[in-house]
Amino acid sequence: MNPVPAHPDHDPQRFFRWEDAGTDFPFYGGTPVAVSHWQWVFVVAAVVAACLGLVLSASLTLEGWIWPFIPALALALVPLLALARVAPGSWTCLFGRVGVREVRLMLGFALLNIVVTMGLGAIVLALTQVAPNSSTGQLAALDTVGRIAFFAKTLPQLLGEEVITILPFLALLHGFTRGLGWGRKAAVLAAWVCTSVLFGLLHLPTYDWNWVQCIVVIGGARMVLTLPWLMTKNLWVSTGAHIANDWMLFAVWLWGASLAGKG
């Protein structure tokens, strides 16, 4: 489905100059359908439920490679099903076409995010202690089949991470513009910052409850990864950038661990 066209009643100025012209964010302005305040509450509740399911599943010790895929899939499916319930037939507007331009944007934003994350990480490391990502330790302990399953599981989970970021973004955009009467630019900026901070806070258990690291580094990385969504209104592009980013980081880490082991 193509991105939602710009609403004639909205501020024609883009949030930033390379935001795709002629497109707008869906739902907050009644296009392609209107979603009410309470319907957004229902969607955000589904986001919270999916996040809790993923967090609680980490404490379970179930045998077999298939079990980790269930909460990862649910992270994307539960909120999308909730959106499909309140906007039947229109929820697919979150996803656009994928061509050469979109793939280039995925790779470009992934590389940009790595640079930004390394910079923010170096600043935070100079000021305070940081915690390692527990996933890297788990990845190192796996055999080849386990590593393939690990990388495969990241596909639905990273899509889910985009979904649980973008749906609250749209809910906040609706609340700021319709509820508070803000202009488009102010509402987009506030929703962008709020969802980035919330995304960082969701990673507190992963990074040993290091608030500074999660808000500054993870939240900063989230701001970069949301940029392709702001630009294209295409969830596939931000998801692809997120996957490319994480896969490159994991691959480099495995390569470094392999060299260290040979040394």
Q: Please report, for the chain, the start and end positions of each structural domain, with discontinuous segments joined by +.
A: 99-262
Banded model confidence at residue 66, pLDDT cuts 50, 70, 90: confident
State the pLDDT at residue 81.
98
State the pLDDT at residue 11.
47
- Kindly report which listed range (85-99, 124-138, 153-167, 207-221) carries the lowest average pLDDT score: 124-138
State the pLDDT at residue 156.
96
State the pLDDT at residue 177.
94
Residue among 220, 229, 117 at smallest CA distance from 168: 229
State the pLDDT at residue 237.
98
Mean pLDDT of the chain: 88
The predicted model scores a pTM of 0.91
State the pLDDT at residue 16.
66
State the pLDDT at residue 6.
55
Residue 214 neighbours by CB distance under 10 Å: 22
Instruction: State phi, psi for 218 to the nearest 5 degrees.
Output: -70, -40
Whether residue 147 has pLDDT greater than 70? yes
Structure tokens at 7: 């609403």
Overall average pLDDT of the 165-194 stretch = 95
Whether residue 252 has pLDDT greater than 70? yes
Give the integer Cα–Cα distance in Å for 152 and 146: 10
Overall average pLDDT of the 19-47 stretch = 93
Instruction: Give percent of the chain with pLDDT exceeding 90.
Output: 66
Residues 6+ apart with CB under 8 A from 183: 11, 177
Structure tokens at 26: 């869906």
